Chain A
Amino acid sequence: MFSRLIYRNAKRSRKENLIYFATLVTAVASFYIILSLGRQDVILFLREFESDAIDKLLNQMPIVYGFALFLLFFLILFANQYQLNRRSKEFGTYLILGMRKERLILQLLAEGLITSILALIGGILIGGFLAEMISLTVSKLVGQGIIGHHISLSIGAIILTIIGFLSIQCIALIILGGRLFTQEVHQMLYEEMDKKQDMGHIKGNLLHILIGSIFLAAAYWIVLYRFIDFGGLFMAVAFICGSLGTLFFIRGFGKLLGLLTNLSEKKSTKGLHRFTLRQFQENIANRSTSVAVTSILITLSIILIANGASTIIGFESSFTRTSSLYDFTVSGNDEEVEQFLTSGKMTAYVEDLNRLEIGRMKTEDELGEDVLPVSLVEWSTLRDQLIKATPKSEQEDFLSGKIQGYTISDENSEALNLLGTLETGITSPYLIAETSYNRLLEAIGEKPLNLAESEMAFYFNPDLLPMDELDNMPVLDTILEKAENEGETLLSIANQAMSIRSSVPIRGLVADRSIEIFSAFIVPDSMFDQLVNEGTYATYWNFRIPKKLQDQQGLMSPMMEARDILMASGLEFESYLQNFGRQLFYVVAGSYTTLYMGFLFLIIACTILALQFLTQMKQTRDRYVTLSLLGAKRQQMKKSMHRQVLCIFLLPMSLACISGVIGIRGMISFAMLYFENEVLLYPIAFSFAAVVMVIVVIYGVAVSRAADHEIDKLNWKPHID
């Protein structure tokens, strides 16, 4: 008998209360998704290149899991509280019939267990499906074929999900059950909305709004202008100010809504307009704290989702290879490498083979060990010209000695970056042999340099030095062309005046980063041989996957095949895959957790709003009975209900949107967020905004339908004699 009651009650609470059950399922699915991250295709793929970084990332997952557990605990607590509130009359009846409270709580736990098991099954299925979808989508987005697909089902994740979910569900029920213990039976039988209407005084409310606005303004100001001062301390200050501001603002606003009802006398007398406003006011004013919390959660969610989205956009733009040319770079014994790369196994994969010679320039160091090496390069004329070409403000800072070290960044002018790049390496600059570079130019379809005997060109590393275009550097080219026209010497090496070629196309020298240099001098081969410091001389064998092969099979799969062959050879090599993998890792590490948290916050906020509304709805059910006796049609009441739902979602949302947009602006202006790729910006921003909207709308519709259902259930006989 008892077990049947438990079973029936559990079944009824699932049926009657879809939102409660859906919340539990969502919680389970969220746990599973975060826990099964290690089984995602992308992660498995990245393990091969960046295993340390991936391990570090996965080691951080328990923290994310713990945090999610903590947040979802409150969600579960809230959902259960709502559910118990709905049934408080029933519990009162059990107690009046003589059921002991211990028994009642035991029964609750048993019911909770049944519901939890079903929620676990549903949640793990949905979570598994979502994880699978995410896994597939990401590997599709990242590159067809390179990432093989594995079923992401993870037993460990399932077990941890079950443990985590059951424990928070259990703790929540025990806490709420304990509360039942202290409640009077009367309270349970006749639970009612607090009748007292605390609308506050107008002055006090205006003060709240004022204080709230001041806090919000302070937070916005910090975010927009002082975000990163004091090592991020101000970020915390901004967050606290923003939260307090939201709290005060919503508190004052809720209570002031009453004024609004009096403002438009005409409109307020139409239909249930005034009633709707009062219901809304009651909901906001009596629960301003939780409404404010949802607003803060939505703000955080908007910022986190924007952040995650920007990381994805960043990846897309770095994935388009602008400066990188070679797919593989092999180093080691020259003969051995050459033999291997031209052997039958490899030829199919090798095109544009280029033996790159590089080394540092000798210094005038014959004088003795104690003296600093003296450069063979004399470039004071060029240096002066570059200083002249910097903008006024930088020039003053530079000449007055304010700028001491060089930071190469895209905030500086081109001239200042060049100055820094050249000056740091000038004692013993890198040299590149002309023929090596000519082969590179040939590979991209450019003419060879054909340098004259005393001619050179600058090479700048496009990965390290920000440049607008790879084929020309406007400031430098102007200086070089002017000097050439006027026959001026800008630079000399070992007392030999050099002329400098302008507008040399620039590409990456190797496949990834076995050579990390800022700049180099491209010089004729004879000069290279003469000036190069033997101790620093090195060769790198670069090649590309043939174009034909790429057209047939795409870039990634021949690259993986070539990689496997090279691995087997034991030669030292690097590939573009590493570069790609690293970029991908940043994206995955950066976007996965932020997006996850963003959506989690959003779902929690929506659930709180939804449950809060339905609780009020339940507690004020009598009002709708009265309304219908006064002649209100069901349609009229439903319309009022839908308006209430709309208002209740819109108020915290709109404040959150303002705060969120300002947060995003702040992060953009302090370079925490990049939107490099403007073409992708709009589609991605739009699709994320759409997903957010869809989530909110789903909640809104679900709440409206639940409310409609309540209205339909209103019977016409509130009191039966």
Chain B
Amino acid sequence: MVRHEKLLEVQDLQKNYGKKDNLTKALRGISFDALSGEFLGIMGASGSGKTTLLNCIATIIKPTSGRVLLNGKNISAFDSKDLAEYRGSRIGYLFQDFGLLDNLTGQENILLPLSIHGMDFAKANAQLNELADFLEITDILDKFPSQMSGGQQQRVAAARSLISDPDIVLADEPTGALDTRSAKKLMNKLESINKSSKRTILMVTHDPNAASFCSRILFIQDGIIFHELRRKQGEAREKFYERILQLLAQLGGGSANVL
């Protein structure tokens, strides 16, 4: 069964910034696996190293040591040409600030990864319509980002991260710039994409609400994983949310941000 395959293996990942006297260890040996079809959350306070971790996985920065294997391939050792092949096609991205190009329409933004990789467009249209329909953005496909609300922009970005049928979607605080309603809508969509099409999603967040949509959450502090929460089979989201809050409260006095 596909479900228990190791899609992503992070092995003893370390990342240092600066030199000698000035050395900052952002990641100090992080190891974990993400299984195919998992919705994995990574929580941690500012400076905990969670974004560095995501950037290493996202091939945006090179780790100092350790390996990141995607489907068994060590992508942290890829050169820029191979990286370009992976980005946007095998790995989809979702950013806090959406990362849409202002001068392209919604549709053009969504199709951009396909044209960059020279992929077949014949199939894409059907897929585009399906995605747009699901993410409720059909009406705004011809609009420019400046003409959309934040929630709409993030859903367009989500469509873009999914259009090339990637192995994994990496989301960096996707709800960070959204109001509560839009954030909830987005998370609902992501959750159902994860469930219905077994899409693997790795999400960094410090919002317990957003994190409660995940199936598993890793807590990072000072560059290491120090805790893990699993959503039990059949556990309601609200229950899971309570547990996340409880853990955060035990660890740092009630607020995720204090952590």
Contact A717 B116 (CB under 8 A): no
A271 to B103 Cα, complex, angstroms: 16
A281 to B103 Cα, complex, angstroms: 9
Q: Which of A195, A197, A271, A718 has the most CB of B within 10 A?
A: A197
A-B contacts, 28 of them at CB < 8 A, read A193-B102, A195-B102, A195-B146, A197-B103, A266-B121, A268-B115, A271-B118, A274-B115, A275-B108, A278-B108, A620-B103, A623-B101, A626-B100, A628-B87, A629-B58, A629-B99, A630-B87, A630-B112, A631-B89, A631-B116, A632-B84, A636-B116, A716-B61, A718-B60, A719-B55, A721-B26, A721-B51, A721-B55
Is B41 positioned at the interface, with any CB of A under 8 Å from its CB?
Answer: no
Is A132 positioned at the interface, with any CB of B under 8 Å from its CB?
Answer: no
Contact A630 B103 (CB under 8 A): no
Write out the residue numbers on chain B whose beta carbons fall within 8 Å of the beta carbon of A634. 80
Write out the residue numbers on chain A whose beta carbons fall within 8 Å of the beta carbon of B145. 195, 197
Is A282 positioned at the interface, with any CB of B under 8 Å from its CB?
Answer: yes
Write out the residue numbers on chain A whose beta carbons fall within 8 Å of the beta carbon of B47. 721
Write out the residue numbers on chain A whose beta carbons fall within 8 Å of the beta carbon of B100. 626
Q: Which of B50, B102, B108, B146 has the most CB of A within 10 A?
A: B102
Is A720 positioned at the interface, with any CB of B under 8 Å from its CB?
Answer: yes
| Sample of 11 more A-B contacts, CB < 8 Å, known A197-B103, A627-B101, A631-B87 | A266-B121, A270-B118, A278-B104, A626-B101, A627-B112, A628-B84, A630-B112, A631-B84, A631-B88, A716-B61, A720-B51
A623, closest chain B residue (CB): B101
Is B77 positioned at the interface, with any CB of A under 8 Å from its CB?
Answer: no
Contact A279 B116 (CB under 8 A): no
Contact A279 B103 (CB under 8 A): yes
Is B241 positioned at the interface, with any CB of A under 8 Å from its CB?
Answer: no
Contact B85 A631 (CB under 8 A): yes
Interface string of B37-52 (1 = CB under 8 A from A): 0000000001101111
Contact A633 B101 (CB under 8 A): no
Contact A630 B118 (CB under 8 A): no
Write out the residue numbers on chain B whose beta carbons fall within 8 Å of the beta carbon of A266. 121
A628 to B91 Cα, complex, angstroms: 12
Write out the residue numbers on chain B whose beta carbons fall within 8 Å of the beta carbon of A270. 115, 118
Is A392 positioned at the interface, with any CB of B under 8 Å from its CB?
Answer: no
Using A629-B88, A631-B84 as known contacts, say yes or no to A197 and B115 having CB atoms under 8 A apart.
Answer: no
Is B114 positioned at the interface, with any CB of A under 8 Å from its CB?
Answer: yes
Contact A630 B104 (CB under 8 A): no
Contact A633 B115 (CB under 8 A): no
A717 to B160 Cα, complex, angstroms: 21
Which of A196, A199, A275, A719 touches B101 (beta carbons < 8 Å)?
A: A275
Contact A271 B55 (CB under 8 A): no
User: How many residues belonging to A are interface residues under a CB distance threshold of 8 Å?
Assistant: 37
Interface string of A631-650 (1 = CB under 8 A from B): 11110100000000000000
B51, closest chain A residue (CB): A721
Write out the residue numbers on chain A whose beta carbons fall within 8 Å of the beta carbon of B58. 629
Is A273 positioned at the interface, with any CB of B under 8 Å from its CB?
Answer: yes
B147, closest chain A residue (CB): A197
Contact A721 B88 (CB under 8 A): no
Write out the residue numbers on chain B whose beta carbons fall within 8 Å of the beta carbon of A633. 80-81, 84
A626, closest chain B residue (CB): B99
Return A282 CB to nearest CB of chain B, in Å.
Answer: 5
Write out the residue numbers on chain A whose beta carbons fall within 8 Å of the beta carbon of B81. 633
A279 to B103 Cα, complex, angstroms: 7
Is B240 positioned at the interface, with any CB of A under 8 Å from its CB?
Answer: no
A282 to B47 Cα, complex, angstroms: 38
Contact B146 A627 (CB under 8 A): no
Write out the residue numbers on chain A whose beta carbons fall within 8 Å of the beta carbon of B111. 269, 274
Return B140 CB to nearest CB of chain A, in Å.
Answer: 13
Is B86 positioned at the interface, with any CB of A under 8 Å from its CB?
Answer: yes
Is B174 positioned at the interface, with any CB of A under 8 Å from its CB?
Answer: no
A720 to B51 Cα, complex, angstroms: 7
Contact A272 B115 (CB under 8 A): yes
Which of A271, A278, A623 touches B116 (beta carbons < 8 Å)?
A: A271
B44, closest chain A residue (CB): A721
A604 to B80 Cα, complex, angstroms: 39
Write out the residue numbers on chain B whose beta carbons fall within 8 Å of the beta carbon of A195. 102, 145-146
Residues of B within 8 A of A (CB): 17, 26, 46-47, 49-52, 55, 58-62, 80-81, 84-89, 93, 99-104, 108, 111-118, 121, 144-147, 160, 172
A261 to B111 Cα, complex, angstroms: 13
A266 to B49 Cα, complex, angstroms: 43
Which of B80, B93, B121 touches A269 (beta carbons < 8 Å)?
A: B121
Write out the residue numbers on chain A whose beta carbons fall within 8 Å of the beta carbon of B49. 721
A705 to B49 Cα, complex, angstroms: 37
Interface string of A675-719 (1 = CB under 8 A from B): 000000000000000000000000000000000000000001111
Interface string of A15-51 (1 = CB under 8 A from B): 0000000000000000000000000000000000000
Write out the residue numbers on chain B whose beta carbons fall within 8 Å of the beta carbon of A271. 115-116, 118
A556 to B172 Cα, complex, angstroms: 82
Contact B108 A717 (CB under 8 A): no
Write out the residue numbers on chain B whose beta carbons fall within 8 Å of the beta carbon of A631. 84-89, 113, 116-117
B17, closest chain A residue (CB): A720
A192, closest chain B residue (CB): B102
Contact B108 A721 (CB under 8 A): no
A268 to B105 Cα, complex, angstroms: 13
Return B189 CB to nearest CB of chain A, in Å.
Answer: 20
Write out the residue numbers on chain A whose beta carbons fall within 8 Å of the beta carbon of B160. 630
A261 to B160 Cα, complex, angstroms: 19
Contact A274 B108 (CB under 8 A): yes
Return B28 CB to nearest CB of chain A, in Å.
Answer: 14
B93, closest chain A residue (CB): A629
A195 to B101 Cα, complex, angstroms: 10
Contact A721 B146 (CB under 8 A): no
Write out the residue numbers on chain B whose beta carbons fall within 8 Å of the beta carbon of A630. 87-88, 93, 112-113, 116, 160
Contact A282 B103 (CB under 8 A): yes
Using A197-B102, A269-B121 as known contacts, say yes or no to A629 and B60 having CB atoms under 8 A apart.
Answer: yes
Write out the residue numbers on chain A whose beta carbons fall within 8 Å of the beta carbon of B103. 197, 278-279, 281-282, 620, 623
A629 to B87 Cα, complex, angstroms: 6
Write out the residue numbers on chain B whose beta carbons fall within 8 Å of the beta carbon of A272. 115-116
Write out the residue numbers on chain B whose beta carbons fall within 8 Å of the beta carbon of A636. 116
Write out the residue numbers on chain A whose beta carbons fall within 8 Å of the beta carbon of B115. 268-274
A636 to B116 Cα, complex, angstroms: 8
Write out the residue numbers on chain B whose beta carbons fall within 8 Å of the beta carbon of A196. 146
A365 to B62 Cα, complex, angstroms: 112
A199 to B142 Cα, complex, angstroms: 12
The 9 closest A-B pairs by CB, nearest first: A631-B88, A721-B51, A631-B87, A630-B88, A197-B144, A633-B84, A278-B103, A717-B61, A282-B103
Return B60 CB to nearest CB of chain A, in Å.
Answer: 5
Write out the residue numbers on chain A whose beta carbons fall within 8 Å of the beta carbon of B147. 197
Write out the residue numbers on chain A whose beta carbons fall within 8 Å of the beta carbon of B52. 720-721
Return A604 CB to nearest CB of chain B, in Å.
Answer: 27
A634 to B81 Cα, complex, angstroms: 9
Write out the residue numbers on chain A whose beta carbons fall within 8 Å of the beta carbon of B108. 261, 274-275, 278
Return B182 CB to nearest CB of chain A, in Å.
Answer: 18
Write out the residue numbers on chain A whose beta carbons fall within 8 Å of the beta carbon of B89. 631
Using A270-B115, A271-B118, A275-B112 as known contacts, say yes or no to A721 and B102 having CB atoms under 8 A apart.
Answer: no
Return B160 CB to nearest CB of chain A, in Å.
Answer: 8
Q: Which of A272, A279, A631, A721 has the most CB of B within 10 A?
A: A721
